[in-house]
Amino acid sequence: MRPTRLMLALALALALAALPAFAGAETLPDPRQLIDRHLEASGGADAIRNSGDGSAKMSIVVAENGMRGDMQLYSRGRDMVVNMTMAGMEIRSGMVGDIAWSIDPMLGPRLLEGKELEDQRRNVDPDVLTFADESIESMKTVALADSEGRPCYRVEILWKSGDETASCFGTDEGLALYSESTSVSPMGEMRQTIHLYDYKTLGKVRVASRMRSSAMGMTQVMTIEDYQEGTPPDEVFALPPAIQSLLDAGAGAQSAE
């Protein structure tokens, strides 16, 4: 599975939960209380909304075969570019303005469209990252569950976009311990679970520095090795020539019509 904006959005946004102390209580905590507390514990909604500028160096390991790779991630507001190398292959993806793109050895350069594009836009939407009421249709705390042996409260959310996600908030510190979501890829719909570990303060917010992602029978462990706060240079976000050519070809086809 290629790293996408979904990886960073989950690392920066779902890493932010805090839970009231309901030790021994029989009633499940209210989901809005969980969210409000998580925003406060993580620096506040404003900090989360403005936490996007920086550069992160990450390692990635495929648990099933031990394959290792390196990932460099750049973010500027809602813009993001991810470069990954693994097994001698380079995979690149980005979201710049309203344009989402990817380049990989199997599919080559392509512009994301339809549900793929919608997913990318949602993943950089500040209202989604802060669980704003305006973006949520309904939410419910459904059970005391666990994240790889760690007890947590599971909250299921129906977004106004129609997407359904779940997050599980730990019973100790209250941080999000896992998230579940469904996304669309060239291989079809993909249900993904991300377990979150080793929270650290990066910039103005506290995020999980290690993520264990499971999807389509593959488990990837991603670790943030280094983080530099500050806006990356503009050239990092320049569209690759192959992507610009696709845009130009599309504009030319529309003009011909």
Q: For position 102, what pLDDT does the model report?
A: 96
pTM: 0.81
What's the rounded mean pLDDT across residues 216-233? Answer: 93
The 10s digit of each residue's pLDDT in 37-62 is: 888 777 788 888 887 789 999 999 99
Q: List, as own/partner pairs, every contact residues 159-167 make where C-beta atoms lie below 8 angstroms and the sequence separation is at least 24, other chains included.
A: 159/122, 159/128, 159/135, 160/134, 160/135, 160/136, 161/118, 161/122, 161/135, 163/122, 167/14, 167/17
Q: For position 152, what pLDDT does the model report?
A: 92
Please give the domain boundaries of the chain with CATH numbers for all domains.
5-135+195-256 (2.50.20)
Please check the confidence at residue 189 and state whether its pLDDT lies above 60. Answer: yes
Q: For position 19, what pLDDT does the model report?
A: 38
* 206 or 234, which is more confident: 234
The 10s digit of each residue's pLDDT in 135-188 is: 999 999 999 999 999 999 999 999 999 999 999 988 888 888 999 999 888 777
Q: For position 190, what pLDDT does the model report?
A: 87
- Tokens 């960073």, residue? 8
Query: Count of CB atoms within 10 A of residue 159's CB?
Result: 18
Sign of CA dihedral 204, 209, 162, 116: positive
Please check the confidence at residue 123 and state whether its pLDDT lies above 90. Answer: no
Residues 6 or more apart whose CB falls under 8 angstroms from that of 196 comprise 11, 14, 15, 147, 175, 176, 177, 178, 179, 208, 210, 211
Q: Parallel, antiparallel, or unpaired for β 68-76 and 218-229?
A: unpaired
Q: For position 256, what pLDDT does the model report?
A: 45
Q: For position 1, what pLDDT does the model report?
A: 42
* 13 or 87, which is more confident: 87
The 10s digit of each residue's pLDDT in 101-120 is: 999 999 999 999 999 999 88
C-alpha 84: how far from its chain's center? 16
* Chain mean pLDDT for the chain: 85
